[in-house]
Amino acid sequence: MNKVLSGFGNVLYFVARIQKKLRLSAIRDSVIDKSSTIEGGCQIVGCHIDRHSFCGYDCVILNAKIGSFCSIADSVYIGGANHPKHFVSTSPVFLSHRDSVKAKLARHEYVDMPRTTIGNDVWIGHGAKVRAGVQVGHGAIIGMGAVVTKNVLPYTIVAGNPARQISSRFRDCVIEALLKVEWWSFSDDEIKRIAHNFNDPETYLRSAGLIP
């Protein structure tokens, strides 16, 4: 009986996975490298996503530049628009652009959607939120559920609400060397030739003559 239920459960699991993958994503005014992947249920507007990056399910990314080799988990929110806090009201009912409200009681011009920049080789955990206009440095890690309201330095790990730096991924000299070499800008063939050392950053950097 358990084997029957297990087999049926596996079938249901794969059917559910297929249904999840078949969901459409809303993508507009964006450039996404053909080697990158956007999973189902996402909203991507005004973005540039470089090569070999992936975005999980149910993400919202607005007006952002995302580098190469980035890993974005499910339910991540990046960017967005600000409301006019210096007006009498913050409601879009009084703004000229199209949005979710049905009525327009005035049509004041106001658009404030700062560009958000995610560097190369950044990992963003499940459910994280990155405020519009924030710059996330190369190699950074943003923890699950983090709320990022300030810039994130390269190769640092941040977590919490508001997000705070927990640690650095490597020694300062290693970080400096990785930023100098910019391996993410190499061609795929060049990366294949050196990737056998990617499980040991210091060995890779020594082989490249970048650290003693």
Catalytic center residues: 83
Find tokens 């404030």 and name the residue: 112
d(CA 159, CA 85): 28
The secondary structure of 92-154 as a DSSP string is GGGBSS--S-S--S--B-----PPEEE-TT-EE-TT-EE-TT-EE-TT-EE-TT-EE-S-B-T
Q: How do 64-66 and 48-49 pair as beta strands?
A: parallel
Return the H-helix or E-strand segment holding 61.
strand 60-62
What CA–CA distances, in Å, run from 80 to 157, 187, 188? 23, 32, 32
d(CA 179, CA 169): 13
Give counts: helices (H), strands (E), the chain: 4, 18
With contact defined as beta carbons under 8 Å apart, do 101 and 95 qualify? no
With contact defined as beta carbons under 8 Å apart, do 111 and 99 qualify? no
